[in-house]
Amino acid sequence: MKSLIVNCDSDYNLACEKIASRLKRDGHDVTKAGIDVKNINKYDNIYLSAIYTWNIPAMIKLVQQITAGTKVEIGGPAASVMADYILLKTGIKPKIGLDARFDSEPSKYLSTYTSRGCIRNCEFCSIPLIEGKTKEIHDFIPAPIVLDPNFLACSKEHIINSCEKLSALPAVDFLHGLDARLLESWHIELFFKKLNLVCWRFTFDSLKNESTLKNVLAMLKNYQIKPAEKIIIYCIYGFSDTPEDAWDRVNLITSLKAHPYAMRYQPLDTLEKDSYIHKNWTSTKLVEFKQLCNIPTMRWLNDLLRRVRTTTAR
């Protein structure tokens, strides 16, 4: 049985890796490819996964090339959000949410989830639509990149047990950030005791959370964690803010010696990345803001990641 797994995005796709592992275990001849795959009609089964909605048009175009009789499955976060649109364009009903056939597949991965869902309901986030409220995964497979939407919203028991499982890894990075509103001293002490944390990632999406950000950085300072060395702050922009508001947040972050990372707002159903421009912004200001914020931060972060890889490889 020849099976093709298509990652419709350039990012690492955990779902694709799990599907590949399971199919190989079941005896399939598995090929993994990107959206530019050729000779698509030589396979018996085709699985497509899209993380971002702006890659859906290319995915649909690819699906429309597949001959009748081939088993085709479509999934991923973007497919969950745009399920009706994909069904209309392809005649295929996507898998919505997690797929129990593959989600617990054991293997070695670059990323993992110890929990799904989130207690927040941010308007710009698709997690509430796809995953709902926080659900703990007790049998998760440890991996260096943790993708939990809100790890600190989990129970104390789960957080302690998860850190114990992750402690076997040379380094750990909570890529989607930690909820500064939930951070307590015992979290910091636990992370220090159990994990080699690559860096501390938080978000600062509104000036009304200024006191929370300052309190968290002050708390970390008590543990000799220097913002310039270890802290990155995500800032969404272009949603309902103004350039002045966005710059106020970034300037505050830099004044606190931490590193800002600008994340441009994308509507949940957008089919073209960076096409949305809020009335408070212009295309030029959106591009300039991202460049001025992210170029220095990415230079620092890439250097940090190189040092972490060098240290953990010894």
For residue range 207-251, list pLDDT tens digits in order. 999 999 999 999 999 999 999 999 999 999 999 999 999 999 999
Looking at per-residue pLDDT, the higher value among 310 and 204 belongs to: 204
> What SS3 class is residue 136?
strand
Judge whether 16 and 7 are in contact, CB under 8 Å.
Answer: yes
Per residue in 253-262, pLDDT (tens digit) is 999 999 999 9
Pairing outcome for strands 135-136 and 115-116: antiparallel
- pLDDT for res 312: 83
d(Cα 111, Cα 108) in Å, to the nearest integer? 9
Query: What residue type is assigned to position 67 of the chain?
Result: T
State the chain's mean pLDDT as an integer.
96
Query: What residue type is assigned to position 21 of the chain?
Result: S
Which tokens is 221 given? 């300072």
Q: Would you tell me how many other CB atoms lie within 10 Å of the CB of residue 20?
A: 22
Report the pLDDT averaged over residues 287-311: 96
CATH of domain 111-313: 3.80.30
Q: Where do the CATH 3.40.50.280 domains begin and end in the chain? A: 2-90
Residue-wise burial string across 61-84, b where 16 or more C-beta atoms lie within 10 A, e elsewhere: ebbeebeeeeebbbbbbbbbbbbe
The DSSP letter of residue 172 is: B
Confidence category of residue 48, pLDDT binned at 50, 70, 90: very high
Asked if pLDDT for residue 167 goes beyond 90, the answer is yes
Edge-to-edge strand ranges of the sheet holding 173-174: 111-112, 145-146, 173-174
Confidence category of residue 182, pLDDT binned at 50, 70, 90: very high
**Cβ-proximal residues to 41 (8 Å cutoff; 6+ apart), any chain:** 65, 66, 67, 70
Task: Answer left, alpha or beta for residue 238, where phi above 0 means left and psi between -120 and 50 means alpha.
Answer: left
Asked if pLDDT for residue 153 goes beyond 70, the answer is yes
% of the chain with per-residue pLDDT over 70: 100
d(Cα 288, Cα 282) in Å, to the nearest integer? 10
Q: Which fold has domain 2-90?
A: Rossmann fold (3.40.50)
d(Cα 259, Cα 287) in Å, to the nearest integer? 18
Q: Where do the CATH 3.80.30 domains begin and end in the chain? A: 111-313
Pairing outcome for strands 135-136 and 111-112: unpaired
Confidence category of residue 314, pLDDT binned at 50, 70, 90: low
Judge whether 9 and 36 are in contact, CB under 8 Å.
Answer: no
Report the pLDDT averaged over residues 24-39: 96
Judge whether 180 and 212 are in contact, CB under 8 Å.
Answer: yes
> What SS3 class is residue 9?
coil
d(Cα 146, Cα 104) in Å, to the nearest integer? 15
- pLDDT for res 213: 97
**E strand or H helix at 289:** helix 283-313
Q: Would the CA dihedral through 258, 259, 261, 262 be positive or negative? A: positive
Nearest to 262 by CA among 284, 232, 240: 232
Report the pLDDT averaged over residues 150-175: 98
How distant is the alpha carbon of residue 208 from its chain centre? 25
Query: What residue type is assigned to position 219 of the chain?
Result: M
- pLDDT for res 241: 96
